[in-house]
Amino acid sequence: EFRRFSLERSKPGKFEEFYGLLQHVHKIPNVDVLVGYTDIHGDLLPINNDDNYHKAVSTANPLLRIFIQRKEDADYSAFGTDTMTRKKNVLSNVLRPDNHKKKPHIVISMPQDFRPVSSIIDVDILPETHRRVRLYKYGTDKPLGFYIRDGSSVRVTPHGLEKVPGIFISRLVPGGLAQSTGLLAVNDEVLEVNGIEVSGKSLDQVTDMMIANSRNLIITVRPANQRNNIVRNSRTSGSSGQSTESSLPSSTPNILANFLQGEEESDEEDIIIEDSGEPQQIPKAAPTSESLESLTQIELLHESTQNGFLPSSEMNLNHSAANVNVEYEVQDPDHKSLEEDGTIITL
């Protein structure tokens, strides 16, 4: 079920008051609930203190979508970027439902208002001298913020040591995504871009490839500084732990196929506006042979009810953002006029 009500944007008040208001509106005064909202990127983020509550209200544009879950059957992993925009995690959750149920969640505190900006992936299949870094551009307004240049590196070949041309990171923009991750550094040699080797390609080609992949850029580098390399099998290092990716079978073609697929999903986000209506994501055409995906879709819907989301049309809408297989359309004429009323909080 869902509710729609309005709040004054300039005076949102305290989180406690808001929490009370929600319990009142839904007539669930004594139920402990988790409160979450979708931000402008479609990510589900928690509201659990004054700060992120204010942030949520201030970013409402103009609608703020709030999700409420019963605390006991809440799924913490639902929060974050991946849940809303990337199917993969959802998919892996679906395929291995026991995965997260059995996994004891060590809840030290409530999930913070964080989303991943980068990760080291495929640690187990790469040579230790290499590092595969994923930059999540879509989750942030930060620029990618780096430059590349031509250079040369020394390779071991059957004919002995050979100097070969290579592509190197030449500059990191202060405050940019690349710099803030700490995973890339000046003079790191770029070996691959989203699974495609760069050797034999010109600087301009590599530039175009990176820009073409900029929404989900995965670059494999040989760091200039080899002292911080991840020692194999120690997953406790500072990586943001894309466990799903690094725990996949470790044969290279599979991995490549895997993240090419991942990439496909992440940028299937073209938007269509029909008859000057609302912008919507363009769905994939009904899959004909890809039965696996349609299966996922069904399971997912099932899953979401299990998760304890209060079933509502709004929720459905947001899930379809997570799973691009679902088509939806908002053609509500009233909808528009409501938008004009200022901040509306919908439930």
Partner 1 sequence: MRRFLRPGHDPVRERLKRDLFQFNKTVEHGFPHQPSALGYSPFLRLMAIGTRSGAVKLYGAPGVEFMGLHEENNTVTQIHFIPGQCQLVTLLDDNSLHLWSLKQHGGASELREEHRFTLKGPPGSPPSATQITAVLPHSSREVLYLGTESGNIFVVELPSLRVLEDRTITSEAVLQRVPEDYCNRRSCELVEALREHPKNPDHILIGYSRGLIVLWDLHNSRVTHHFLGSQQLENLYWQRDGSKFISCHYDGSYTQWPVSSDNRQPEPLENLVPYGPFPCKAISKIYWQTTKNGLPYIIFQGGMPRASYGDRHSISVVHGSQQTAFDFTSRVIDFFIIFSSEPTAEFDDPSAMVVLAEEELVVIDLKTAGWPAVHPPYLASLHCSAITCSHHVSNIPLKLWERIISAGSKQNIHYSKMPWPIDGGTNIAPDPPQRDLLLTGHEDGTVRFWDASGVCLHLLYKLSTVRVFLTDADPNDNMNTVGEDEWPPLRKVGTFDPYSDDPRLGIQKIYLCKYSGYLAVAGTAGQVLVMELNDEDAEHIVDHAEADLLQDQEGYRWKGHEKLKTRDGPVRFEAGFQPFVLVQCQPPAVVTSLALHSEWKLVAFGTSHGFGLFDHQQKRLVFVKCTLHPSDQLALEGPLSRVKSLKKSLRQSFRRIRRSRVSSRKRRGGSGNASEVQEANAKFDQDALQEMELAPVQRKIEARSAEDSFTGFVRTLYFADTFLRDSSRHCPSLWAGTNGGTVYAFCLRVPPAERRMDEPVRAEQAKEIQLMHRAPVVGILVLDGRSTPLPEPLEVAHDLSKSPDMQGSHQLLVVSEEQLKVFTLPKVSSKLKLKLTALEGCRVRKVTVANFGSCKTDDYSENDLAVLTNLGDVQIISLPFLKLQIRYPCIRKEDVSGIASCVFTKYGQGFYLISPSEFERFSLSTKWLVEPRCVVDVPEVTSNNHVHNKSGMENAARKS
Whole-number Cα distances in Å, 198 to 168, 182, 183, 255: 11, 22, 19, 18
| Total interface residues for partner 1 by CB under 8 A | 50
Q: How far is the CB of 261 from partner 1 (least distance, A)?
A: 12
Q: Which x/- pattern over 302-341 shows residues binding partner 1 (rule: CB under 8 A)?
A: -------------------------x--------------
Q: Which of 2, 215, 243, 326 binds partner 1 (CB under 8 A)?
A: 215
> Buried b vs exposed e over 322-337: b needs ≥16 C-beta within 10 Å?
bbbbbeeeeeeeeeee
Please give the single-letter amino acid code of residue 162: E
Report CA 305 to chain centroid distance, whole Å. 22
The answer to whether residue 188 forms part of the interface with partner 1 (CB under 8 A) is no
Site string for partner 1, 250-279 (x = CB under 8 A): -------------x---xxxxxxxxxx--x
Among 106, 108, 161, 286, binds partner 1 (CB under 8 A): 286
Q: Which stretch binds partner 1 (CB under 8 A): 42-50, 59-67, 170-178, 247-255?
A: 170-178
212 is a contact residue toward partner 1 (CB under 8 A): yes
CA 201-207-212 angle, to 5 degrees, is 110
What residue type is assigned to position 326 of the chain? V
| Nearest CB to partner 1, comparing residues 75 and 188 | 188
Q: Which stretch binds partner 1 (CB under 8 A): 54-62, 66-74, 209-217, 228-236?
A: 209-217
Provide the 8-state DSSP code for 80: B
Token code pair at residue 13: 């008040």
**Nearer to partner 1 among residue 26 and residue 149 (C-beta):** 149
Least spacing, CB of residue 188 vs partner 1, in Å:
13
List 26, 55, 70, 284, residue binding partner 1 (CB under 8 A): 284
- Quick note: the x/- pattern for partner 1 over 146-165, rule CB under 8 A, is xxxxx---------------
Using CA atoms, how far residue 193 sits from 121, 131, 138, 213, 347, in Å, is 13, 12, 17, 8, 42
Nearer to partner 1, 55 or 171 (CB): 171
What region does 322 belong to: left with phi over 0, alpha with psi -120 to 50, or beta? alpha
Q: Residue 17, SS3?
A: helix
DSSP code for 62: S
CA separation for the pair 146, 128 (Å, rounded): 24
**Strand bridging mode 189-193 / 146-157:** unpaired
**Binding-site ranges for partner 1 (CB under 8 A):** 137, 143-150, 170-171, 178, 193-194, 196, 198, 201-215, 263, 267-276, 279, 282-286, 289, 327
